[in-house]
């Protein structure tokens, strides 16, 4: 997920979850819907993968199919820096040194199967789940939650998926 550096915001800060158990949060997440960055606008079947490194940073790999060539995969790597160690819910996401973008976990269900990530600016949003698809009623509830915290849901994109596609981060890393 490509983000730009932080800017001032007229909104109040986006409240985060109280605590994220980082080892439980790691692994693959299907990106179900969101307000996309320019890289994500035409992505198909996106998956975000998190790996906790020994130095406490989080390696992130965003894998997707390219919409102009659904048989080819794309990837974007970044590093997450935990900015609030008391909660582990506020990260600085770095794609290009030295810029770290705001990245906040503002919803995480008890079994770590659904999460919502956002920014104070309310410009980007990611609704992610461990399994695809989400029931429509559950997705509608998550969208309402995003709107309630200040997101313009008219900008929301639902991601397209192809059942036969395998673009897990491991599969994408083997793509030509």
115-168: pLDDT as tens digits: 999 999 999 999 999 999 999 999 999 999 999 999 999 999 999 875 444 444
pLDDT given at position 172: 38
35 belongs to a structural domain: yes
For the segment 92-111, the average pLDDT, to the nearest whole number, is: 91
95 belongs to a structural domain: yes
Q: Enumerate the β-bridge partners of residue 141.
A: none
Total tally of structural domains belonging to the chain: 1
pLDDT given at position 153: 96
pLDDT given at position 9: 43
45-92: pLDDT as tens digits: 999 999 999 999 999 999 998 776 656 788 889 999 999 999 999 999
| CATH code, 104 | 2.40.128.20
Q: Label residue 27 left, alpha or beta by phi (over 0 means left) and psi (-120 to 50 means alpha).
A: left
pLDDT given at position 165: 45
Task: Count the helices and strands in the chain (H runs, E runs).
Answer: 3, 9
CA 150 to each of CA 32, 53, 125, 127, 145: distance values in angstroms, whole numbers, following the listed order: 19, 33, 11, 15, 9
34 belongs to a structural domain: yes
Q: Give the whole-angstrom CA distance, residue 80 versus residue 56.
A: 9
175 belongs to a structural domain: no
166 belongs to a structural domain: no
12 belongs to a structural domain: no
61 belongs to a structural domain: yes
- Domain around 152: 22-161
Q: Give the whole-angstrom CA distance, residue 20 versus residue 22.
A: 6
6 belongs to a structural domain: no
């Amino acid at each position: 997920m490509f983000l730009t550096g932080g800017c001032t915001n007229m909104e109040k800060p986006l409240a985060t979850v109280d605590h994220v158990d980082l080892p439980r949060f790691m692994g693959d997440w299907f990106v179900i819907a969101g307000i996309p960055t320019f890289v994500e606008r035409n992505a198909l079947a996106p998956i975000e993968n998190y790996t906790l490194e020994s130095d406490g940073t989080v390696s992130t790999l965003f894998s997707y199919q390219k919409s102009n060539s659904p048989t080819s995969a794309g990837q974007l790597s970044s590093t997450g820096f935990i900015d609030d160690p008391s909660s582990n819910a506020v990260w600085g996401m770095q794609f290009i040194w030295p810029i770290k973008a705001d990245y906040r976990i503002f919803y995480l269900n008890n079994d770590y199967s659904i999460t919502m990530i956002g920014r104070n600016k309310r410009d980007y949003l990611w609704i992610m789940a461990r399994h695809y698809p989400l029931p429509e009623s559950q997705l509608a509830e998550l969208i309402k939650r995003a709107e309630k915290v200040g997101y313009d849901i008219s900008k929301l994109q639902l991601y397209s998926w192809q059942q036969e596609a395998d673009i897990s981060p491991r599969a994408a890393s083997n793509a030509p």
